[in-house]
Chain A
Amino acid sequence: MKKIFFILLIVFLNTNLNAAVKIDITRGNLEPLPAAVSDFYIDNPEKFSEGIKKLNLESNLPKVIKNNLKRSGLFYILDKKSHIQKPKLSHLKPRFEDWSLIKAQIMISGKIKIDEKGRLRVEFRLWDVVSAKEIEGLALFATPKSWRRIGHIISDKIYQRMTGEEGYFDTRIIYVAESGPKDRRIKKLAIMDQDGANNKFLTLGNELVLTPRFNPNSQLVTYMSYFKNLPRVYLLNIETGVQEIVGDFPGMTFAPRFSPNGNKVIMSFAKDGNSDIYTMDLKSRVVEQLTSHPSIDTSPSYSPDGRFVVFNSDRSGFQQLYVMRSDGRKVKRISRGKGLYGTPVWSPRGDLIAFTKIFKGKFYIGVMRTDGSGERLLTENFYQEAPSWSPNGRVLIFYRETAARKKGVGASSKLWSIDITGYNEVKLKTPSDASDPSWSSLLSK
């Protein structure tokens, strides 16, 4: 088994807790924080092989950081051309007047070298320009080809330092890559870094695949496949490529997700026109039936403590959201507004449930508290659904389709993200059309 990546060591150089600049992410950020990300400087260029030189890490590594901070909506990145001080001095002894002149409130500098073992050593410093202090400093070691992940980890450190919350940049998205006409759509599982880099297809497109979801603790993914025209829930190890069917159900299984500890898959099983919710323990193979109702029960999602399950049922006559204990008892309806509700997903923070709402021919992504109160709709569109949470519970990713004209002309499906404040709606770049995104946990945790 090949290790995708390794970071040997993170050395804290400095952490100053008394910074003047802070970001409050609980409110919509209308005024992003002006930030300057200096180019990094190369300490020992003579040790750089031709291959590593070509990566232009001195500007491309800061670029990864800049893109992350910018897409978070919390930072305004100042144009590199406006920087007065050179990268080396910025890192060793910044002239804060120079940075405050261009209105930067924070400045990020860095140094890159190849150490005696051939590893990439990246050191970065986060400077509070306003109070003229270093507020964070770290050195990271990794294999040179993992340089983008270093950029993501640095981004997470900056985000954490500025907001007081964990970041979400050192993560990946698994999704369904779509191509071909709408009535004969080809769908493949694909995975990429959260910024769209390192896109990779995991299946060939020979059979229809839907709704991949990450295990919160490992390299396992659960998804639905029409392999041999038998629609069933599968597991896929994304490191080894090994696939396996989940359980031995005499009918369609779908809408899978992992339990928070990753030991169980919760899903729907459809039999004789009725869909109920089941779990299967991946070690013992024990199957449990959680709901038993003649209505459609689907889209189950565990609370992060594993004690409850939120799901979608039409037992009232229409799609609504329900919460039950994870043993299937004490079912309670939580959605109360007008319209239909689907695809509930419990926030990793435990405080909110994200959902899709259908009302008067429009589709909304929204959040509500776990008892159904405090419903807030974040975005309205022709068609969008299937939100998935960033690991820090601050951002939702979902997919959005455009209306098609005759013969399907104009149809498209793209991934979007939005902050739960309702601000910062961003379209993600994917090599093809895309749907059914699922956000991983932080990789370095």
Chain B
Amino acid sequence: MSLKNIKNLILVVFLGFLLTACATSSRKPGKDYYTGSDTVKFLASGVPDRVFFATNRSSLHSGAKGTLNKQAAYIKSSGISVVVEGHADERGTREYNLALGERRANAVKDYLMSQGVASSKITVISYGKERPVNPESSRLAWSQNRRSVTVKSK
């Protein structure tokens, strides 16, 4: 194998790492939120239904705020009411995760309200770790499961 081939191989391996790193984001505390688009559905055209959280956190990173800005605009223009579901990954105790899911859903509710959505249009519910979207036990799956999902009220 020539030196050039080896270089290419190393580059491919390196790019592979980068891609994985992008999908699950960073392993640093507070930064391991999911940044990919798998599992994401849409509340309306161009309006993603969910935002993701870092382990044990309920703070909204800038990407999440971008998504919620779109949600807020859509909720206001369409007049719909929504339910914000808060979820946690499976790497925590059940009861704490119920509280954490509630905290995440409320972080989203508060942000939507700060963008002008009326409080009466939003209800929250926490599912803790009970309803994962990806059932695998992996860092990627856990990052996809640490989420809030905004759905239209029935």
Q: Using a CB–CB distance below 8 Å, which chain A residues touch chain B?
A: 181-185, 208, 210-211, 224, 229, 231, 252, 254-255, 268, 270, 272-275, 296, 298-299, 312, 314, 318-319, 342-343, 356, 358, 361, 382-383, 385-386, 401, 403-408, 411, 435-436
Which B-chain residue is minimally distant from A276 (CB atoms)?
Answer: B99
> Which residues of chain B are within 8 angstroms of A252 by Cβ–Cβ distance?
98, 102, 125-126
Would B135 and A343 count as touching, CB distance under 8 A? no
The reply to whether B103 and A273 form a contact with Cβ atoms under 8 Å apart is yes
Chain A residue with minimal CB distance to B131?
A183
Given A273-B106, A342-B93, 9 more contacts at CB 8 Å? A182-B135, A211-B95, A298-B98, A299-B95, A383-B91, A401-B90, A405-B136, A435-B94, A436-B94
Closest to A357 in B: B93
Interface presence of B66 (CB below 8 A): no
Taking CB atoms, residues of chain B closer than 8 Å to A356 are 93
Tell which of B92, B109, B136 touches A404, judged by Cβ atoms closer than 8 Å: B136
CB distance from B141 to the nearest CB of A (A): 8
Q: Complex: how many Å from CA A78 to CA B62?
A: 67
CA distance A271 to B93 in the complex (A): 20
Q: Which of B96, B98, B109 contacts A319 (CB 8 A)?
A: B96
State in angstroms the CA–CA spacing of A358 and B125 once bound together.
26
Q: Are A403 and B137 in contact (CB under 8 A)?
A: yes
Q: CA–CA, A211 to B95, complex, Å?
A: 8
Is B92's CB under 8 angstroms from A275's CB? no
Q: A185-B130, A231-B126 are in contact. Are A404 and B94 (CB under 8 A)?
A: no
Output the residue of A184, A254, A312, A435 with the most chain B CB within 10 A.
Answer: A254
Q: Which residues of A contact B106 (CB under 8 A)?
A: 272-273
A-B contact list, 21 entries, CB within 8 Å = A183-B135, A185-B130, A224-B98, A254-B98, A254-B99, A268-B98, A270-B102, A273-B109, A273-B110, A274-B103, A298-B96, A298-B99, A299-B93, A312-B95, A318-B56, A319-B93, A342-B96, A343-B95, A361-B91, A385-B93, A386-B94
The 8 closest A-B pairs by CB, nearest first: A408-B135, A273-B106, A342-B93, A182-B135, A403-B137, A275-B99, A255-B95, A296-B99
Question: CB distance A268 to B95 under 8 Å?
Answer: yes
Closest chain-A Cβ to B4's Cβ sits at a distance in Å of 36
Q: Contacting B94 at CB < 8 Å: which of A181, A210, A272?
A: A210
Contacts of A358 in B (CB 8 A): 91-93
Q: Which residues of B contact A229 (CB under 8 A)?
A: 125
Docked complex Cα distance between A254 and B136 (Å): 26
Q: Count contacts between A and B, CB distance < 8 Å.
A: 104
Residue numbers of B with Cβ under 8 A of A are 56, 58, 90-96, 98-100, 102-103, 105-107, 109-110, 125-126, 130-137
A210 touches B130 (CB 8 A): yes
Nearest CB of chain A from residue B121's CB, rounded to whole Å: 16
A182 to chain B: which residues have CB within 8 Å? 132, 135
Tell me whether A181 and B135 are in contact (CB under 8 A). yes
In angstroms, how far is the closest chain A Cβ from the Cβ of B2? Answer: 37
Q: Which residue in A273, A319, A382, A408 is a CB contact (below 8 Å) of B102? A: A273
Taking each of A270, A312, A319, A356, which has the highest tally of chain B beta carbons within 10 Å of its own beta carbon? Answer: A270
Please state if A298 and B126 are interface contacts (CB–CB under 8 Å): no
Q: Please name all residues of chain A whose beta carbon is closer than 8 Å to the beta carbon of B98 when the two chains form the complex.
A: 210, 224, 231, 252, 254-255, 268, 270, 298
**Chain A residues with CB below 8 A from B56, complex form:** 314, 318
Interfacial chain B residues near A254, Cβ < 8 Å: 95, 98-99
Contact (Cβ within 8 A) A275 B102: yes
Report the separation of the CA atoms of residues A405 and B94 in the bound assembly, to the nearest whole angstrom.
21
Which residues of A lie under 8 Å from residue B91 when comparing CB positions?
Answer: 358, 361, 383
Contacts of A275 in B (CB 8 A): 99, 102-103
Query: Residue among A296, A299, A358, A411 with the most chain B CB within 10 A?
Result: A296
CB distance from B109 to the nearest CB of A (A): 8
Report A212 CB to chain B, min CB distance, Å. Answer: 12
Residues of chain B within 8 A of A382, CB atoms compared? 137
